[in-house]
């Protein structure tokens, strides 16, 4: 009998498998899809690398850097900060401490009218404290409440709110401030970027650390018992321990949870190709909260030309929360907004595909799951969703299982 069977081949399940392999634990990992990585994955479509929605990897994620050499992925970072679209035109808000052109970045930051001097000083102080500004007030507040009490309304509307909405994929009034303080230190100390071959390179690098004979694709779990997993193809695999490294909704189903919440946080994006990018810098473009359709614009080919095989620019447009990219009228209105933002050159942009991702992040209010002595769960829904916490959960779960063997 196996020591453990892992259900789910996202990065949390893969990290669990790596720890089992290092400790000599016999295991099998089964993934229902035709690829590993779960939410951290990419598609390869008509010569383009399309990440599963707008994603970045932070080089401050210690769970990643302790496992993978980022240089081996040819990892490159975006400029730290953003180009912000305002009613007064496009503005830069940059972090001079992370920019090679420090004097230029400092001048851009100092002269930008996105935020007052107090806003920038407050953000700088928060960065130096690495977000450790937890008080009784912020522990019980939402992110929106915390930002409203800390920065001016214009700074929040033009920068802080649209940026953090794109991180949490939710109305900030519904996100606890503790989630902000969990993630802010990583953004403060690191820079976001992309591997040369897309986000799929992260799980692919993890798979390279494992025995391929212990990994199975296209194998979906049907139900579990204390010491076995029955799969949709009828096979029953026995093991001393079962680890559920599946999305929160699937874990609820397999554990027969009574109070189910299947409403994960959604993300919508549209991928375009264009003869030329609307801007050349490797930087995130943000629109303010007053913009009801487009929230972010990123251009992966400004960072890695290999995201496109034909030399055209690849443009990822992230839609505002609540919009459905499957609706033709939403896509049409998005194109109109892009035309207003970047002029008539947008007429030359061609849609590659659109993505409506139903479980881009787990629900904010995940209900507790109640596994047993021989059934464990792992995933970033157990804390604040992030790549770092997904990996940390997989590692920690493996260590707990190992203690029982």
Would you give the DSSP letter of residue 37?
B
pLDDT for res 291: 81
Alpha-carbon distances, residue 305 vs 47, 100, 309, 314 (angstroms): 12, 21, 8, 9
Q: What is the CATH number of domain 42-77+193-197+265-361?
A: 3.90.660.20
Domain borders along the chain are: 2-40+200-262+367-404, 42-77+193-197+265-361, 115-188
Query: Looking at the predicted structure, is the pLDDT value of residue 317 above 80?
Result: yes
Q: What's the pLDDT score for residue 102?
A: 67
* pLDDT on residue 138: 57
Among 162-176, 251-265, 307-321, where is mean pLDDT lowest? Answer: 251-265
Nearest to 215 by CA among 24, 387, 34, 67: 34
Q: What is the pLDDT of residue 74?
A: 97
Highest averaged pLDDT of the listed ranges 223-227, 253-257, 299-303:
299-303
**Residue 218 near residue 351 (C-beta atoms within 8 A):** no
Per DSSP (E only), the strands in 95-213 are 192-194
pLDDT band at 136 (very low <50, low <70, confident <90, very high): very low
Take residue 205 and report the two structure tokens written for it. 């690098």
Residue 333 has pLDDT above 70, yes or no: yes
CB atoms within 10 A of CB 147: 21
Encode pLDDT of 40-80 as tens digits.
Answer: 999 999 999 999 988 999 999 999 999 999 999 999 999 98
Cα–Cα distance between 196 and 306 in angstroms, integer?
Answer: 7
Percentage of residues in the chain having pLDDT higher than 70: 96
How wide is the angle at C-alpha 229 spanned by C-alphas 228 and 235, nearest 5°?
110
Overall average pLDDT of the 333-338 stretch: 95
Q: pTM above the 0.85 mark?
A: yes
Is 222 a residue whose pLDDT tops 80? yes
Give percent of the chain above pLDDT 90: 78
Q: State which of 8-17, 119-128, 366-375 shows the largest mean pLDDT.
A: 8-17
Q: Locate the DSSP E strands across 213-280.
A: 215-216, 221-225, 228-231, 236-244, 265-274
Tell me, what's the pLDDT at 226? 86
Second-level CATH architecture of 2-40+200-262+367-404:
3-Layer(bba) Sandwich (3.50)
Identify the CA nearest to 12 among candidates 313, 294, 391, 401: 391
What number is the average pLDDT over the span 145-169?
A: 94
User: What six digits make up the tokens of 383?
Assistant: 């804390």
pLDDT attached to residue 327: 94
């Amino acid at each position: 009998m196996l020591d453990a069977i892992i259900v789910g081949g996202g990065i949390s399940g893969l990290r669990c498998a790596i720890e089992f392999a290092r400790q000599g634990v016999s295991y099998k990992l089964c993934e229902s899809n035709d690829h590993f990585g779960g939410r951290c994955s990419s598609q390869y479509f008509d010569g383009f690398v399309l990440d599963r929605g707008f994603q970045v990897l932070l080089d401050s994620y210690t769970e990643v850097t302790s496992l993978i050499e980022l240089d081996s992925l040819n990892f490159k970072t975006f400029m730290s900060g953003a180009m912000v679209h305002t009613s007064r035109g496009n503005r830069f808000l940059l972090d001079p401490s992370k920019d090679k052109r420090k004097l230029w970045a400092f001048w851009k930051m100092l002269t930008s009218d996105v935020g007052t001097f107090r806003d920038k000083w407050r953000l700088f102080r928060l960065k130096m404290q690495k977000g450790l500004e937890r008080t009784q007030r912020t522990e019980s507040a939402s992110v929106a409440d915390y930002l409203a009490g800390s920065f001016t309304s214009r700074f929040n509307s033009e920068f802080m709110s649209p940026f953090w909405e794109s991180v949490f994929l939710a109305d900030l009034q519904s996100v606890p401030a503790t989630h902000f303080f969990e993630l802010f230190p990583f953004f403060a100390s690191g820079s976001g970027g992309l591997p040369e071959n897309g986000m799929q390179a992260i799980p692919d690098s993890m798979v390279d650390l494992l025995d391929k004979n212990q990994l199975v694709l296209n194998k979906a779990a049907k139900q579990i018992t204390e010491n076995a997993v029955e799969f949709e193809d009828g096979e029953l695999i026995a093991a001393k321990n079962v680890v559920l490294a599946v999305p929160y909704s699937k874990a609820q189903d397999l554990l027969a949870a009574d109070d189910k919440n299947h409403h994960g946080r959604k993300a919508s994006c549209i991928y375009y190709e264009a003869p030329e990018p609307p801007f050349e810098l490797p930087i995130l473009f943000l629109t303010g909260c007053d913009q009801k359709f487009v929230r972010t614009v990123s251009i992966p080919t400004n960072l890695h030309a290999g995201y496109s095989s034909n030399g055209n620019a690849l443009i990822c447009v992230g839609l505002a929360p609540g919009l459905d990219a499957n609706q033709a009228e939403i896509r049409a209105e998005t194109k109109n907004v892009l035309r207003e933002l970047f002029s008539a050159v947008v007429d030359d942009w061609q849609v590659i595909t659109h993505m409506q991702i139903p479980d881009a992040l787990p629900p904010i209010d995940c209900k507790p799951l109640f596994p047993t002595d021989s059934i464990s769960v792992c995933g970033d829904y157990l804390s604040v969703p992030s790549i770092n916490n997904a990996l940390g959960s997989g590692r920690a779960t493996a260590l707990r299982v190992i203690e029982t063997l």
